[in-house]
Structure 1
Amino acid sequence: MNSILISAIASNQGKTLLTTALLYHYKNSVRPFKIGPDYIDPQFHKKICNIDSINLDTFIMNEQQVLWLFNHYSNKKFSILEGVMGFYDGMNMGCSAYNIGKLLNIPTILILDGSGSYITISAVLKGLKTYKEDNTIKAVVLNKLSSSMHFELIKTQIESDFNDIEVLGWIKKDLTTLKTTHLGLDLNSINKQVLEELSKEVLENINLKKLEELSSYKKKTVLEYPFNSFSKIDKKVAIINDENFSFLYYDNFKFLEELFLEVEIINPSKDEEISKDTHLVFIPGGYVETQINYNRIKDKNRFKNSLLTHIKNKKYVYAECAGLLYLSKSVDDKKMSEVLDVEFTLTNKRVRLGYYYSENGLKGHAFHYTKPKSLDNAIDILSKKPNIKGQEAAWRKQNVYGTYLHTMFRNNLTILKDYFGI
């Protein structure tokens, strides 16, 4: 099989551009992966190659668990991993492109912005290569170049300075395709024709034969299932999933399939009802607080009434972020389902961003612009480090639990008893 990791020195350097082109080129034989807790890029990956993308996160899971996850889902000829931010960013929390590359021993291709420079690019590369000697940087692709002459200048310098780096090629600046689309910002604007043209334009001056040779890969051995065991239960789970509630880790979905006898997907935007024999309702994160998103669900009374009936019958609900907001009384003037005794307001700045430790023992990620008007009845403090001051971020009423924290289920089986009623 083949595996590569695509990284850079920072965000907005071209990782998504190169990943998109390669995913589309290898679309019939590829499995995409995303390093870290991001939900948007995996949705974009799936849009490109029509297969679910897997998050690899060594903060939320331990190394052996992430290794198992990668091996388990690397079921295609080519595995392409997209990094997060810069190559070493996130290392302080144990999850960066460097950490994942080292763990899985996957060759890393750096995409480097070469605009307005040439010799200095090699100096930057030296810094990245020597910062941690056990990195997996094996190749570079140069982005935003004006000409083949510019490329040859940089290539000659890199090849003079390194004997273990392949210069795979370059991407010209001012790509024609990007003048007509906002890559990665609007999933609905990316169609087959755009992807076809973009992929050809991006890969025009990249040596794919060398890339394939470089990416030859043999999986590391995993001796056993590195998670606590569980038994399948004779119950049904409903997963709420539409444009508003789309932040769903694919492995969480697969884990719920493994755990429950039956899984049903409910689309609230279509006013679908939750089945009466459902034991647990899982409402993922997403967007519900803005007017355009709220309009999709505000009059969906069949869905809302079926949820309220489910709760009235003392069954279970687990909700993350947008799910929490939907269970609240309101977000500013937008009336929600009024299950939990809390009101929220939408702010102009981020309230939380990044990895968090929860007082209830979970680790995860939070990213939101809303905040509660009052912390009355709040539980489960989230903090940036264990045992330091944080702030409450969850609310519970009988068997209904809503939290700002996004986490992974497979390695957090305590939630089965505490929140899933199992």
Structure 2
Amino acid sequence: MKRIVLSGTGSGVGKTTISTGIMKALSDEFKIQSFKVGPDYIDPSYHNCATNIPSRNLDSFFMSDGQIRESFINGMKQSNAKYGVIEGVRGLYEGISPVNDIGSTASIAKSLNAPVVLIINSRSLVRSAAAMILGFKALDPEIQIDGVILNNVKSQKHYLKTKTAVEELTNTPVIGGITRNPDITMQQRHLGLIPAVERETIKDMVEKWGELISENLDLDMIREIMENSDNNINSEDTTPIWSPNTTKTKTKIAVPFDEAFNFYYRENIEALEANNAKIIYFSPIHDEQLPDADALYMGGGYPEIFKKELSENKPMLKSVKQFSEDNHPIYAECGGLMYLTKSIDNMPMVDVFNYESNLTKKVQGLSYTIAQVTQENPILPVNTEYHGHEFHYSKVEYTGNNPNDFAFKMKRGVGINGMYDGLLKNNTVASYIHTHTACIPEFAYNFTQKALE
């Protein structure tokens, strides 16, 4: 399974533009399976546009080494891809700890025994670029840095000087350089890039990135690095990322997917389908009522950006509230939580939970999370501990004082009130925590069983 990790020396070096462009350029000739390191929904949406194959996430805080290999192998097999291209997160060695690999791009490279290409912001750098690369290579000799991409070069002269310094002083080939170009900068908002689903011009933009890469990088060298990657990923040294299905009874799970709600891990959907769930997509903005379903799984997204459209769709708000009052299982994450509150910035919402949610100027939660289950809920039994992540510029104005209002006690992270998360009512649980089936292998089985009940 030929593979490569595209990592950066830090955030903001152009990883997503360059990685997506490489995926697009290679996809013109080969089938490419894309992956993203870390808890990210938005970058994978750009990968999808480049490859026309769903991108997948790899994360060593969520996953054991065996689950990382399982997820990678499953993705490659399902897409029948020739190459696996993995975009890193932040800097190569950045993770949850200052001294170990957990949550880092480096941990994924080591789990998959994958070669790394390092992307550098080479603005104003020549010989110092070589010093930077030597430091990255020396920190962990297990990491195989097989190439360098120079971003933000000033001119051809600057590129050639830096290329000479890197290749002669570090013995590492330079794959190419990208000149400074404000036209390829991507628009951002408070959670990062704008999701591809909101951008009608995304295909044209990704096409331009692919052309940029084809003109400035040596794609044959990238392929050669992948072809020379050690093929020895032991398919027996893997760990399942979801529990096997033990029932033949089918259920129907409604899943919102539109401009407001589109944050889902591909494996979470696959886990539900593996447990005999039929996924029925709908739009809380454009549809007037829920589809015929047994349960509702509401992911995150940007409901605060589309609060007016959501609030004006009164029939849908009523339909979702009735669904909860009828005791159907609902599991909601972050944006889904906000939608189920009384209001978002005073715009009326579903009102399953009679608390207001408001957008804030500062980030309220940005962390990997660890939660302890304290109350019965549709996804996990009491006393289970599980991992997740949170990233939100909003706050639910919880005015109660009863721990029994919540399903989860926070051991790491902020949650709703600094101590608890997972508001409970009827058979509905809604929290700021995003999770991945690898953290909760029994998630899909438990949720479909609740739907059957």
> Above 0.5 in TM-score?
yes
Identify the match of residue 167 of structure 2 among 143, 159, 163: 159
Post-superposition shift, 1:120? 0.7
Asked if structure 2 preserves the Cα contact closer than 8 Å seen for 1:48 and 1:195, the reply is yes
Identify the match of residue 262 of structure 2 among 224, 239, 246: 246
Asked if structure 1 preserves the Cα contact closer than 8 Å seen for 2:310 and 2:349, the reply is no
User: Which residue of structure 1 lines up, in the alignment, with residue 338 of structure 2?
Assistant: 325
Q: Matches of 2:195 and 2:318 in 1, distance apart?
A: 32
Asked if structure 1 preserves the Cα contact closer than 8 Å seen for 2:67 and 2:438, the reply is no
Partner amino acid, structure 2, of 1:303: M
Residues 71 and 80 (structure 1 numbering): CA distance in 2 closer, same or farther, change over 3 Å?
A: same
- The secondary structure found in structure 2 opposite 1:5 is strand
User: Which residue of structure 2 lines up, in the alignment, with residue 279 of structure 1?
Assistant: 294
1:2-401 alignment, distance < 5 Å: 2-28=2-28, 29-74=31-76, 75-90=80-95, 92=97, 94-163=102-171, 165-174=172-181, 177-178=183-184, 182=187, 184-185=193-194, 187=196, 188=199, 190-216=201-227, 217=229, 218=231, 220-223=233-236, 226-227=240-241, 228-232=243-247, 233-276=249-292, 278-290=293-305, 293-360=306-373, 361-374=385-398, 376=400, 377-384=405-412, 390-401=418-429
Q: Matches of 1:392 and 1:342 in 2, distance apart?
A: 15
Q: Matches of 1:235 and 1:197 in 2, distance apart?
A: 42
Residues 313 and 182 (structure 1 numbering): CA distance in 2 closer, same or farther, change over 3 Å?
A: closer
Instruction: Compare 399-408 and 71-80 and name the one that shifted more.
Output: 71-80
Residues 78 and 385 (structure 1 numbering): CA distance in 2 closer, same or farther, change over 3 Å?
A: same
Gaps of 5+ in 1: none
Q: Matches of 2:45 and 2:359 in 1, distance apart?
A: 25
Aligned length: 414
Asked if structure 1 preserves the Cα contact closer than 8 Å seen for 2:317 and 2:349, the reply is no
Asked if structure 2 preserves the Cα contact closer than 8 Å seen for 1:266 and 1:272, the reply is no
Asked if structure 1 preserves the Cα contact closer than 8 Å seen for 2:357 and 2:396, the reply is yes
Residues 375 and 413 (structure 1 numbering): CA distance in 2 closer, same or farther, change over 3 Å?
A: farther
- The secondary structure found in structure 2 opposite 1:161 is helix
Asked if structure 1 preserves the Cα contact closer than 8 Å seen for 2:32 and 2:83, the reply is yes
Q: Matches of 1:395 and 1:334 in 2, distance apart?
A: 20
Q: Matches of 1:355 and 1:119 in 2, distance apart?
A: 37
Residues 419 and 27 (structure 1 numbering): CA distance in 2 closer, same or farther, change over 3 Å?
A: same
Bigger RCO (CA 8 Å, 6+ sep): 2
Instruction: Compare 348-357 and 230-239 and name the one that shifted more.
Output: 230-239
Partner amino acid, structure 1, of 2:127: I
Q: Matches of 2:235 and 2:226 in 1, distance apart?
A: 21
Partner amino acid, structure 2, of 1:27: S
Q: Matches of 2:195 and 2:332 in 1, distance apart?
A: 25
Tell whether 2:436 aligns with 1:404.
no
Asked if structure 2 preserves the Cα contact closer than 8 Å seen for 1:399 and 1:419, the reply is no
Q: Matches of 1:30 and 1:413 in 2, distance apart?
A: 27
Asked if structure 2 preserves the Cα contact closer than 8 Å seen for 1:280 and 1:315, the reply is yes
Post-superposition shift, 1:136? 2.4
Post-superposition shift, 1:214? 0.8
- The secondary structure found in structure 2 opposite 1:362 is strand
Residues 252 and 167 (structure 1 numbering): CA distance in 2 closer, same or farther, change over 3 Å?
A: same
Partner amino acid, structure 2, of 1:174: N
Asked if structure 2 preserves the Cα contact closer than 8 Å seen for 1:155 and 1:167, the reply is yes
Post-superposition shift, 1:367? 0.6
Q: Matches of 1:100 and 1:91 in 2, distance apart?
A: 14
Partner amino acid, structure 2, of 1:128: F
- The secondary structure found in structure 1 opposite 2:71 is helix
TM-score, length of structure 1 as denominator length = 0.91
Residues 60 and 194 (structure 1 numbering): CA distance in 2 closer, same or farther, change over 3 Å?
A: closer
Asked if structure 2 preserves the Cα contact closer than 8 Å seen for 1:144 and 1:172, the reply is yes
Q: Matches of 1:190 and 1:27 in 2, distance apart?
A: 19
Percent of aligned pairs with the same amino acid: 28
Residues 89 and 190 (structure 1 numbering): CA distance in 2 closer, same or farther, change over 3 Å?
A: farther
Q: Matches of 1:82 and 1:134 in 2, distance apart?
A: 19
Post-superposition shift, 1:137? 1.5
TM-score, length of structure 2 as denominator length = 0.85
- The secondary structure found in structure 2 opposite 1:105 is coil
Residues 58 and 253 (structure 1 numbering): CA distance in 2 closer, same or farther, change over 3 Å?
A: same
- The secondary structure found in structure 2 opposite 1:83 is strand
- The secondary structure found in structure 1 opposite 2:353 is coil
Post-superposition shift, 1:300? 2.0
Q: Matches of 1:23 and 1:407 in 2, distance apart?
A: 26
Partner amino acid, structure 1, of 2:60: T
Partner amino acid, structure 1, of 2:312: D
Alpha-carbon RMSD across the aligned residues, in angstroms, is 2.4
- The secondary structure found in structure 1 opposite 2:27 is coil
Residues 253 and 364 (structure 1 numbering): CA distance in 2 closer, same or farther, change over 3 Å?
A: same
